[in-house]
Chain A
Amino acid sequence: MSDGLVIDGIALPSRLLLGTGGYPNRQVMLDALVAGNAAAVTVSIRRIDLAGGLESLLDAVSGKWRLLPNTAGCATAHDAVLTAQLAREALDTDWIKLEVIGDRETLYPDVPEMLRAAGELVADGFKVLPYTSDDPVTAQKLEDLGCVAVMPLGSPIGSGLGILNPLNIERICTRAGVPVILDAGVGTASDAALAMELGCAGVLLNTAVARSHDPVAMARAMGLAVAAGHGARHAGRIPKRTYAEASSPELGLIGG
């Protein structure tokens, strides 16, 4: 096993989790998931369209990647819990990416509802991976409730604005006893690398790959960035200085 992410004792093949939404077509999505060496892939749970046109997503991804169903779009703990329970029945997994959205414009989480849902789901046997704000206090509460990871946002979902509050992300990582996965806001590879340099255990992204000009190439770049950032974090970066320090020896300069 490579230096991958471990969640609730399960070793995953990489530290990059990828979404399955918004790709130009199914084949590009599958190629991107391969190129990024996705540790797990997220799926949504939605009503079957009574007018037909069933999507065979499960046939395409099942058995190839660990599936992480989400409760995307839920606005209450009540709906999120039911969606999670349906996801468990549909996909035979107790992993759930918990999302409880408080505002349609920002897609920021509704923290009180999310905490309530997290508590109910943990009590019901779920392994909860909550999408949360970049607030260290909330992250701690989620860990205390028994969540197996915490997933703070870098910036609003789909915005591509990167990590707006790196100090908070680093603080969450420093305090957490469970894996911290940056979820939302990544726009390009340097954002993913920064998340890892700040101490995140992984990165979850979708739009930055799916809506890029070349999703397969971007997925590959994201995988490399996550690995590079993780490597740099553990190699130990030099301290920042406010003055220059020459690399070449000062002795022996000609004309001296």
Chain B
Amino acid sequence: MEATKLRRVDFVFRPDNTSIDVLRKTLKRDADDIILELIDSGLKGRGGAGFLTGLKWKLAKEAAGDIKYVICNADEGEPGTFKDREILDRVPRRVLTGMAICAHTIGAKEGFIYLRAEYKFLAHKLKAVMAEMNEEFKKLGLDFSVSLRYGSGAYVCGEETALIDSMEGRRGEPRNKPPFPVTAGYLNKPTVVNNVETFVNCCIIANIGADEYKKFGTDNSRGFKLFSVSGDCSKEGVFELELGMTLADFVEEFGDGDTKAVQVGGASGFCVPRKKFKDTIIGFEGIPTGGSMKIFNSTRSMYNVLHNYLEFFEEESCGQCTPCRVGCQQLIKGIEAVKRKEKPAGYLDELVKLAKVMKVASKCGLGQSVGNAFVSIVENFREEIVY
């Protein structure tokens, strides 16, 4: 697979004076046509899991039932990710337009933005834009309105079924799947849950067309993506880049010249050491990311990095399933014990085995991805964990 060259693009944050026109033109189109174009574009969910967005909409459209819902997942909780906040602050109309296109496509009349509790400061402005856009929808003859719901601070509620549970007023815990939300989601009705950035991409594709969109990225990772860059970097913030570059190129552009490792995809992602930068493509053929890129230089202790992630997971696991709840505790207590020489270095191998069990046996994506950071850090920086 050929990597692309690092290229900065400007689609998402371009001044937004076209959304209503895009919507007007798209509402005239047939739902199946929109879905075909979306599938053709190759857009995958921008929250991190990477499910084909067009397929998700197709399943929701085909699901039986008159009442359907569109939910925008703005529970941006992955450590090191802050691009959705930027989107909601700067171009909220694009998000709402994407949601409206989805509503038109699947036949939904109600939509929600599930906003991370810590982002309440955005609510005032968002509500005003929502009121304005709801009016616009009416004017365009689209029977659809969007309202706001708040999270309560749990990371796991970014998982779509936990998010739905939370919206229904229950404790946010991931559900058993199947059924998936596209057939039985909010209030057991067919529901599309997409990330903020995904809806913006839908809006952009409706505007420029799949052919134009496909010119960006690689076969498996079409388009462009927002990256939240933080850590030991030469420039930090949100950057929009074409997908498919190598990590080496990325570090060249954003590193501080002393980069030891990059955590791609946040706490639930993978830690890549310097020696693998060249061979690592950022995208679905290599390491996908929901946007979080944390750069560590040689002053950082990878033990501390790992410990910090495990502390996070130990607290943010919903606690319902055994591998995740107990596994997280064992991983953190385990590396502490190795560090204190209470357990031999070989105990790390037991913990890697445990992490691999968590990956296949946990109920949801949270528990399944704890092992990513753990295994990649322990395997690449074993010495730092032990000594």
Q: Do A and B bind each other?
A: no
Give B contacts to A, CB under 8 Å: none
Give A contacts to B, CB under 8 Å: none
